[in-house]
Chains A and B, each alone.
Chain A
Amino acid sequence: MSVDTSYLSPPLDGSLPSARRSADTPKPALSRKLAVVALRQGSLAVFIGVLVYFSIAAPFFLSVGNIGNVLGQSAIAGVLAIGLTVVIIAGGSNVVTGGIDLSLAANMGLSAAVYASLVQAGHGDVVAVLGALGTGLLIGAVNALAITLAGIVPLLATLAVMNVVAGLELVLTQNTVVPASTEFLSTLSASGPFGIPVLAYVLLGFTALATAVVQYTPLGLRLYAVGEFPEAARAAGLRVKAFIAGAFLASGLCGGFAGILSVSYLSGSTTGAGDMLLPVVVTALLGSVFSRRLVPTIGGTLLATLFVSFLINGFQLLNISSTLVSGVQGLLILLVVSATTLLQRKGSQ
């Protein structure tokens, strides 16, 4: 079963279903549908166009080794963005009032610090893995409690938790690098079959698992229902708060998992985990343009993650100054997000 609620044709801001309006005003609904299709196909076309251009301009770009590297380099951001996608699905895609988890990057930083500190203290990988995942889960639980019990808006609740978590990381690490080296970490950072990094396989495996759960199970369907039609979901007997709390727990767990990947990638925990927050938020939002109805999906998030990573990689291979990379990347994202927002606004009118 594939979770696609497109038959409901809901506007993304939760207003009356467009099916009702479409009887009176068929033209705007049709034009929006066409625009959505154009944006989605256009985004895919841009993605493919970028790949083709880089393949021609930088022959090394399309090599198996380079693609594997890009996949591996995307693993940490991808796992975090998938965690955020689950929260956006359950909380609705309005960034201000809907689902958002600003604590994710800080969560990864603290989880990585816990892992590295436990290794430094002489503990084995099993304890360190449990410590990192437990840390992530605990942060997710605090978010869940603050949002579902205290009723704080996710944007503010997770912003506050982000600051607490970043502070705890500073206390634990004294803002220094905590090196960690174990056989498990070496295995994670090594190359696997076909010379492709193990982290690339981890990302693909994790995405497949998350896709199976979110896009192909009744749980996933309910998650979308809770995010898009909370009142209807409540009326149908769904425990809306429990689903939202669950989404934040899942997100927290993703933060912990990304922390482990980060320790393997950077041979320890390093400072500056918070820098990943905005790219992850942007990636999760950008993922919507790769879905049929401009809604967040796991597959869309993976495509968005890879799109950004390939873009950065292509610039590197073409030896374009990194000062330009950020600007061009930001411009592309601004264009896509603007188009999405305009379409959403048009759809809600």
Chain B
Amino acid sequence: MSNEFPAGVNRRNLLKLTAAAGMVAGAGILTSRTAFAGEEFSLKGKRIGISTAGTDHFFDLQAYNAQIEEVKRLGGEPIAVDAGRNDGKLVSQLQTLIAQKPDAIVQLLGTVSVIDPWLKKARDAGIPVLTIDVGTTNSINNSTSDNWAIGKDLALQLVSDIGGEGNIVVFNGFYGVTPCAIRYDQLVNVIKYFPKVQIIQPELRDVIPNTVQDAFTQITAILNKYPEKGSIKAIWSAWDIPQLGATQALTSAGRTEIKTYGVDGSPEVLQLVADANSPASGNVAQQPAELGRTAIRNVARHLAGGTLPRESYVPALLANKENVGEISKKLGIG
């Protein structure tokens, strides 16, 4: 490869130009960001309720913490509550939040049928409600990954990996949670066109808590029921903690020919995908911290009188055996 550059621009000059351009661009971004934060998007003097179904999962914790930090960065006061995966506690916290009359409430995850009446009460009380991964008409804006794309990409990866035929095991315990329902529906939509792919019935129910242990137990039982190699081709779940338990069960039973798939991009699962000997074959990594920040910026925009789209999508990244290193680096966990 030649080291020559166009006349008048040698390597040192190019580096200087690049550095200068970078500084100008950086300053520009900083200026525009500061201007945004200082004027249009400031949350100064605002109290923002941040409610989450739980923080026991990588995704939840990242999104939750990012919201708190973003509210503080924009000058607001976060009122953050974590329900610890307990529906009763979640409802109690929402009640208490509503009674405090914050300037807005952001709800992260939760079963729609349980929380929706309380989101409606918040809306009726004049408190703007925004959500992350909750599909409800009581929310002004829902920040989410494109779950249709996630579901389709994961399903296509699965079907491709198993050569378009074979039995698959599906965890479908949280169809009441909107993103899980969309991902599952997309799986069904894809395999409809691959008639030789069959979901083993009955489908499995993933549970909270003890998800890993429970998935391990359920998959071990299924393996005993289908002892022949090739009788199961893959295991699918709408998030990656059941995938973790399933992968461990397969490794433990020596059935590593079966491939596992999930969503969320937890570091431990991406490490398994990166392991050439692991059955973990695909995982769609979301960007939870970015989802959290997006939701808070949307709150700021709304409170400043701006209009919001019904849904704000944050890109998700499909990791497989080939690209997992690159994806992990992008997510900053590589």
CB atoms of A176 and B95 under 8 A apart? no
CB atoms of B207 and A271 under 8 A apart? yes
CA distance A319 to B87 in the complex (A): 20
A-side contacts of B78, CB under 8 Å: 319
B-side contacts of A266, CB under 8 Å: 87-88, 91, 114
CB atoms of A175 and B87 under 8 A apart? no
In chain B, what residue has the closest Cβ to A312? B92
CB atoms of A265 and B100 under 8 A apart? no
- Residues facing A in B71-129 (CB within 8 A) are 78-88, 91-93, 95-96, 99-100, 111, 113-114, 116-117
A-side contacts of B173, CB under 8 Å: 175-176
- From B79, B84, B87, B96, contact of A69 by CB (8 A): B96
A-side contacts of B95, CB under 8 Å: 69, 72-73
CB atoms of A176 and B96 under 8 A apart? no
CB atoms of B99 and A69 under 8 A apart? yes
A94 contacts partner chain B, Cβ-Cβ < 8 Å: no
A-side contacts of B111, CB under 8 Å: 177, 270
In chain B, what residue has the closest Cβ to A174? B205
Main secondary structure of the interface of B (DSSP, over half): mixed
A196 CB to closest chain B CB, in angstroms?
11
CB atoms of B87 and A270 under 8 A apart? yes
In chain B, what residue has the closest Cβ to A58? B100
A115 CB to closest chain B CB, in angstroms?
14
A68 CB to closest chain B CB, in angstroms?
9
A-side contacts of B117, CB under 8 Å: 189, 267
Q: Could you list some 6 contacts between A and B, CB below 8 A?
A: A179-B113, A272-B86, A272-B87, A276-B88, A316-B93, A322-B83
A-side contacts of B100, CB under 8 Å: 60, 317
In chain A, what residue has the closest Cβ to B202? A174
A271 CB to closest chain B CB, in angstroms?
7
CB atoms of B114 and A65 under 8 A apart? no
B175 contacts partner chain A, Cβ-Cβ < 8 Å: yes
A-side contacts of B84, CB under 8 Å: 322, 326
- Residues of chain B at the chain A interface (Cβ within 8 Å): 78-88, 91-93, 95-96, 99-100, 111, 113-114, 116-117, 173-176, 205, 207-208
In chain B, what residue has the closest Cβ to A195? B99
In chain B, what residue has the closest Cβ to A66? B99
A66-B96, A177-B111, A265-B88 are contacts. A322–B205 as well, Cβ < 8 Å?
no
CB atoms of B91 and A317 under 8 A apart? no
Q: Mark A242-283, 1 if CB is under 8 A from B, else 0.
A: 000000000000000000001001111011100110000000
A contact residues, total (Cβ < 8 Å): 33
CB atoms of A268 and B113 under 8 A apart? yes
A10 CB to closest chain B CB, in angstroms?
37
B138 CB to closest chain A CB, in angstroms?
13
CA distance A262 to B91 in the complex (A): 11
B117 CB to closest chain A CB, in angstroms?
5
CB atoms of B114 and A319 under 8 A apart? no
CB atoms of A177 and B81 under 8 A apart? no
A84 contacts partner chain B, Cβ-Cβ < 8 Å: no
CA distance A238 to B315 in the complex (A): 72
A203 contacts partner chain B, Cβ-Cβ < 8 Å: no
A-side contacts of B175, CB under 8 Å: 176
A-side contacts of B208, CB under 8 Å: 271-272
A-side contacts of B205, CB under 8 Å: 174-176
Residue in A177, A179, A262 with the greatest tally of chain B CB atoms within 10 Å: A177
B-side contacts of A76, CB under 8 Å: 88
In chain A, what residue has the closest Cβ to B99? A65
A-side contacts of B91, CB under 8 Å: 265-266
CB atoms of A175 and B88 under 8 A apart? no
CB atoms of A175 and B207 under 8 A apart? yes
A307 CB to closest chain B CB, in angstroms?
16
CB atoms of B79 and A267 under 8 A apart? no
A158 contacts partner chain B, Cβ-Cβ < 8 Å: no
Q: Mark A200-216, 1 if CB is under 8 A from B, else 0.
A: 00000000000000000
A85 contacts partner chain B, Cβ-Cβ < 8 Å: no
B149 CB to closest chain A CB, in angstroms?
26
A313 contacts partner chain B, Cβ-Cβ < 8 Å: yes
A209 CB to closest chain B CB, in angstroms?
24
- Residues facing B in A48-76 (CB within 8 A) are 60, 63, 65-66, 69, 72-73, 76
CA distance A179 to B117 in the complex (A): 12
- From A60, A267, A276, A317, contact of B114 by CB (8 A): A267
CA distance A268 to B82 in the complex (A): 21
A-side contacts of B82, CB under 8 Å: 321-323
CA distance A326 to B86 in the complex (A): 13
CA distance A185 to B329 in the complex (A): 50
CA distance A63 to B101 in the complex (A): 13
